[in-house]
């Protein structure tokens, strides 16, 4: 099994101190694999760029990328994923792929793209995908891809940017589709996807031209009035507003609670566990989710065998919870925020600030926040991914709640404060999911409204 590529690892290219991604950054942060630009202007300005003009993100250059090839590539993928049939995919198409454990909890989710016959490229599905491949006994090979760059361009002007830098007409790409183009003098692949919820494109290419590609993309983004996007905005703001549940931000995969073999394998690959805090951190399994909890039940297909099938069949008969957005009460947020200025014995232990989703100090110690959602003092769900929505001037989170309380307008509370410390119930209202529902929603926007630059 191959574990390396011939090109320079992308991390050594794009995260090096002399990389062009650091130009103009005013705050930098270290999240475990080196220093990154955290912010270029302000988190608010960078977030709104994806709504008004365009933003350029670099964060996903740390993505685990993994190729599955060989005569049994399709049978193997069908044997581990809850969805199928990967044999029906056309070259250049992609699917959101899920892998669950025997209890039906999500172990891995990510994008699977068909590159060619019996050749698939997976993003964020390994190392779990690698674990299953090694024990499959099938005629299939797995290869870690370490020399691919990965940039994201989001916003109403993103199509204009991509057509300018590639010299290609990309109007024909629908959501989830991709095509080969030329960028920085080399072949690249443009994919109509993003995490802000707005019109967006990903671009992938070889690490040897990563810096040149970034510089061309950044010049084009800034040329339409857009902004580069720091780590804080991409990782901490985008997903909740866009309505895209994300591992580590909104849920944790049960790597070490899915059998001793996987636990031992993950101890070698990721030798640490992310921790939890918040009012619901008292039960570790609160951080685990099934596809039905987070609105992905439509991906489950029971016409084949896969890990977790029997558990998911039982859950599918009467799913207990579903995904919603919560709008948090501004007065209660203000009450908690002001508590930090009332002396050391302030009522609420956890401070409330404008930190998005995961407070920066949480990244430093590797933990995710999760809080109980209540109705009349009864726990009815879990809230994760708290963040300001700069689009609408609100504080929001995602939540997985009992279906009887999931109707828009339902009043609930979020129990704020770590276990063992003073806590406070914040009023919240169930809102639309996904929260961003503007004109440029990527899944539905018709790009024929945008003038063509080419073709």
The helix/strand/coil state of 167 is coil
Residue 344 belongs to some domain of the structure? yes
Which candidate, 208, 163, 160, 161, places its Cα nearest to that of 185?
208
Q: Where are the alpha helices (DSSP H) in 244-288?
A: 260-269
Q: What strand order describes the sheet that includes 186-191?
A: 178-183, 186-191, 200-206, 148-154, 55-57, 227-229
What's residue 181's pLDDT? 97
Q: Are residues 235 and 271 in the same domain?
A: no
> Tell me, what CATH number does 179's domain have?
3.30.1360.120
Which candidate, 181, 176, 173, places its Cα nearest to that of 203?
181
Q: Going by DSSP bridges, is the β-strand pair 141-145/148-154 parallel, antiparallel, or unpaired?
A: unpaired
Q: Chain-centre distance of CA 64, in angstroms?
A: 13
Q: Tokens 């030798």 belong to which residue?
A: 271
Residue 404 belongs to some domain of the structure? yes
Residue 447 belongs to some domain of the structure? no
> Tell me, what CATH number does 356's domain have?
2.40.30.110
What's residue 291's pLDDT? 98
What is the C-alpha to C-alpha distance for residues 11 and 17, in angstroms, rounded to an integer?
Answer: 11
Q: Are residues 421 and 343 in the same domain?
A: yes
What's residue 4's pLDDT? 45
The helix/strand/coil state of 368 is strand
Q: Are residues 331 and 365 in the same domain?
A: yes
What is the C-alpha to C-alpha distance for residues 191 and 150, in angstroms, rounded to an integer?
Answer: 10
376: left (phi over 0), alpha (psi -120 to 50) or beta: left
Residue 293 belongs to some domain of the structure? no
Question: To which H or E segment does residue 153 belong?
Answer: strand 148-154
Q: Is there a cis peptide before residue 85, judged by omega within 30 degrees of 0? A: yes
What is the C-alpha to C-alpha distance for residues 264 and 123, in angstroms, rounded to an integer?
Answer: 22
Q: Are residues 176 and 270 in the same domain?
A: no
Q: Are residues 331 and 399 in the same domain?
A: yes
Q: What strand order describes the sheet that includes 94-100?
A: 94-100, 106-116, 119-123, 65-69, 141-145
Residues contacting 137, CB < 8 A, separation 6+: none
The helix/strand/coil state of 79 is helix
Q: Where are the alpha helices (DSSP H) in 147-254?
A: 158-166, 210-223, 231-236, 238-242
Residue 92 belongs to some domain of the structure? no
What is the C-alpha to C-alpha distance for residues 350 and 134, in angstroms, rounded to an integer?
Answer: 44
Q: Tokens 């290609």 belong to which residue?
A: 168
Residue 380 belongs to some domain of the structure? yes
Q: Chain-centre distance of CA 18, in angstroms?
A: 27
Residue 383 belongs to some domain of the structure? yes
The tally of domains found in the chain comes to: 2
Q: Are residues 382 and 236 in the same domain?
A: no
What's residue 2's pLDDT? 39
Q: Are residues 283 and 194 in the same domain?
A: no
DSSP symbol at 236: H
What's residue 341's pLDDT? 78
**Residue 218, domain extent:** 10-64+147-242
What is the C-alpha to C-alpha distance for residues 232 and 243, in angstroms, rounded to an integer?
Answer: 17
Q: Are residues 174 and 267 in the same domain?
A: no
Residue 93 belongs to some domain of the structure? no
What's residue 3's pLDDT? 42
What is the C-alpha to C-alpha distance for residues 405 and 430, in angstroms, rounded to an integer?
Answer: 8
Q: What is the mean pLDDT of each run of 10 residues along the chain (455 residues)?
A: 66 95 91 82 91 95 96 98 94 93 98 95 97 98 97 97 97 92 97 94 97 98 96 78 91 95 93 84 96 97 97 97 97 84 62 51 69 97 92 94 98 92 92 94 95 76
């Amino acid at each position: 099994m191959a574990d390396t590529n011939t090109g320079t690892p992308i991390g050594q290219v794009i995260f090096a101190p002399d990389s062009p991604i650091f130009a103009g950054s005013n705050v930098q942060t270290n999240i475990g694999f080196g220093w990154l630009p955290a912010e270029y202007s302000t988190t608010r300005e960078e977030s709104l760029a994806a709504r008004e003009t365009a933003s350029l993100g670099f964060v996903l250059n740390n993505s685990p990328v993994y190729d599955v090839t060989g005569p049994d590539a399709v049978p193997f993928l069908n044997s581990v994923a809850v969805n199928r049939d990967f044999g029906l995919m056309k070259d250049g198409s992609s699917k959101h792929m899920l892998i669950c454990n025997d209890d039906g909890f999500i172990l891995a989710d990510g994008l699977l793209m068909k590159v060619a016959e019996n050749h698939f490229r997976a993003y964020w599905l390994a190392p779990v995908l690698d674990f299953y491949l090694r024990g499959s006994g099938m005629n299939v090979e797995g290869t870690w891809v370490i020399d691919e760059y990965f940039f994201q361009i989001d916003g109403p002007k993103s199509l204009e940017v991509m057509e300018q830098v590639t010299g290609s007409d990309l109007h024909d790409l629908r959501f989830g589709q991709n095509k080969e183009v030329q960028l920085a003098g080399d072949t690249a692949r443009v994919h109509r996807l993003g995490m802000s919820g707005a019109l967006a494109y990903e671009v992938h290419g070889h690490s040897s031209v990563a810096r040149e590609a970034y510089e061309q993309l950044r010049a084009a983004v800034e040329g339409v009035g857009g902004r580069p996007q720091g780590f804080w905005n991409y990782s901490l703001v985008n997903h909740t507003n866009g309505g895209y549940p994300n591992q580590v931000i909104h849920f944790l995969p049960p790597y070490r609670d899915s059998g001793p073999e996987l636990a031992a394998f993950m101890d070698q690959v990721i030798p640490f566990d992310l921790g939890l805090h918040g009012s619901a951190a008292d039960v570790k399994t609160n951080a685990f989710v099934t596809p039905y909890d987070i609105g992905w039940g439509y991906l489950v297909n029971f016409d084949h065998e896969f890990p977790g099938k029997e558990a998911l069949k039982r859950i599918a008969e009467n799913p207990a919870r579903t995904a919603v957005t919560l709008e948090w009460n501004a007065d209660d947020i203000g009450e908690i925020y002001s508590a930090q200025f009332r002396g050391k014995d302030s009522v609420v232990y956890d401070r409330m600030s404008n930190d998005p989703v995961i407070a920066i100090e949480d990244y430093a110690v590797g933990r995710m926040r999760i809080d109980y959602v209540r109705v009349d003092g009864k726990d009815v769900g879990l809230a994760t991914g708290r963040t300001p929505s700069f689009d609408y001037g609100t504080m929001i989170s995602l939540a997985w709640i009992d279906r009887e309380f999931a109707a828009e307008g339902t009043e609930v509370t979020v129990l704020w404060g770590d276990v063992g410390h003073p806590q406070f119930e914040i009023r919240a209202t169930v809102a639309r999911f996904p929260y961003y529902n503007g004109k440029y929603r990527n899944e539905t926007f018709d790009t024929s409204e945008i003038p063509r630059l080419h073709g």
